[in-house]
């Protein structure tokens, strides 16, 4: 299955900022009709205007919904279905990371993260999958943290790992309908969400991040479109994430050993400086 992007309506969640906005632009450049979803109306309208002016996109619908709330998902899915009886694809990008030391995170932080990043995508897919056309696309956004747990991301790793397992099962059920399922796993990417995330990153997480190269949202969107059209399931965006994805699969203890070394060195330096 190799999904060809464009010519049809795509629902993009998290379309108003960062990676979702960049993917929306890439879809508009390919002539797709757009259905854009996020919580804030104003920034959605800005992206819709950008696509009309830059690519001449004619059909753009904007929908507000808080994906952490199941009742809102059911309501918005009905609205979307009324206006768009068939979808070429659903691309779930909405999500956020709240890093922090495990003991300092609140119980609600784990609940909200699961409801937004995991259940939000699951319930929206459940409400709309029946109108995805044969040969269509359902794509999710996990993370490098979705296949490799990282210090400071205990609230984020759960939903992002869960998304990959969910997508793996769904992929098999969608074979008959020739619907491609893909999971985007971005590394650190310069976005408004990343700036927010940096505010609560533990020292050790910052040190681990320093070893990774920051990508732009446009670079990630370019990797996404290219690899979707190649029929890829897991979409990594740079050589480092590709290497860790495969190494984690075949030699997880080596990956843990390398990360443990970096964390121990960082903690030693931190304790010395105090």
* Active-site amino acid positions: 142, 156, 160
Give the Å distances, CA to CA, from 236 to 46, 49, 143, 145, 165.
29, 30, 9, 12, 16
List all residues 6 or more positions away from 230 whose beta carbon is below 8 Å from its beta carbon.
2
Q: How far is the CB of 14 from ligand NAP (least distance, A)?
A: 3
Query: Of residues 54-73, which lie at the interface with ligand NAP (CB under 6 A)?
Result: 65-68
Locate 169 and state its tokens. Answer: 């099962």
- The reply to whether 39 sits near ligand NAP by the rule CB under 6 A is yes
Nearer Cβ to ligand NAP, position 96 or 203?
Answer: 96
147 in contact with ligand NAP (CB under 6 A): no
* Residue 241 near ligand NAP by CB under 6 A: no
Residue 86 Cβ vs ligand NAP, minimum distance, rounded to whole Å: 23
Nearer to ligand NAP, 57 or 113 (CB): 113
Where does this chain touch ligand NAP (CB under 6 A) — which range of 4-12, 55-63, 190-198, 225-233? 190-198
Using the rule CB under 6 A, is 192 a contact of ligand NAP?
yes
Nearest Cα neighbor of 26 from 215, 225, 192, 223 is 225
Q: What span, in angstroms and rounded, lies between the C-alpha atoms of 5 and 28? A: 10
Give the CA-trace dihedral at 9, 11, 15, 21, to 10 degrees.
-40
> Judged by CB, which is closer to ligand NAP: 195, or 258?
195
Q: Does position 143 bind ligand NAP by CB under 6 A? A: yes
Stretch that binds ligand NAP, among 34-42, 53-61, 82-90, 127-135 (CB under 6 A): 34-42
Instruction: Name the β-bridge partners of 132.
Output: 87
Question: If binding is defined by CB under 6 A, does position 189 make contact with ligand NAP?
Answer: yes
Instruction: Please state the closest distance from residue 126 (CB atom) to ligand NAP, in A.
Output: 16
Least separation in angstroms between CB 67 and ligand NAP: 4
When the beta carbons of 8 and 186 are compared against ligand NAP, the nearer one is 186
Q: How far is the CB of 124 from ligand NAP (least distance, A)?
A: 10
Residue with tokens 């795509």: 10
Residues near ligand NAP, by CB under 6 A? 13-20, 38-40, 43, 65-68, 93-97, 116-117, 141, 143, 186, 188-189, 191-194
């Amino acid at each position: 299955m190799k999904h060809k992007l464009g010519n049809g309506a795509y629902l993009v969640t998290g379309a108003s900022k960062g990676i979702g906005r960049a993917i929306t632009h890439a879809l508009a450049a390919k002539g797709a009709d757009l259905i854009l979803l996020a919580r804030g109306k104003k920034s959605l309208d800005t992206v819709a205007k950008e696509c009309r002016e830059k690519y001449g996109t004619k059909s753009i619908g904007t929908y507000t919904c808080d994906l952490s709330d199941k009742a809102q998902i059911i309501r918005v899915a009905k609205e979307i279905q009324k206006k768009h009886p068939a979808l070429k694809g659903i691309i779930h990008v909405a999500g956020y990371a709240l890093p922090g030391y495990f003991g300092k995170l609140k119980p609600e932080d784990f609940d909200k993260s699961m409801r937004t990043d995991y259940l939000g995508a699951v319930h929206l897919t459940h409400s709309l999958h029946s109108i995805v056309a044969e040969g269509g696309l359902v794509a999710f956004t996990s993370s490098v943290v979705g296949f490799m747990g990282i210090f400071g991301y205990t609230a984020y790793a759960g939903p992002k790992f869960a998304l990959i397992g969910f997508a793996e099962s769904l992929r098999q059920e969608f074979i008959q309908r020739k619907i491609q399922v893909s999971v985007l796993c971005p590394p650190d990417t310069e976005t408004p969400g990343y700036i927010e995330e940096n505010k609560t990153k533990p020292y050790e997480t910052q040190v681990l991040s320093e070893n990774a190269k920051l990508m732009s949202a446009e670079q990630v969107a370019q990797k996404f479109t290219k690899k979707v059209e190649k029929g890829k399931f897991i979409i990594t965006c740079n050589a480092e994430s590709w290497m860790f994805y495969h190494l984690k699969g075949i030699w997880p203890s080596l990956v843990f050993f390398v990360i443990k070394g970096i964390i121990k060195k960082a903690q030693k330096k931190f304790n010395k400086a105090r």
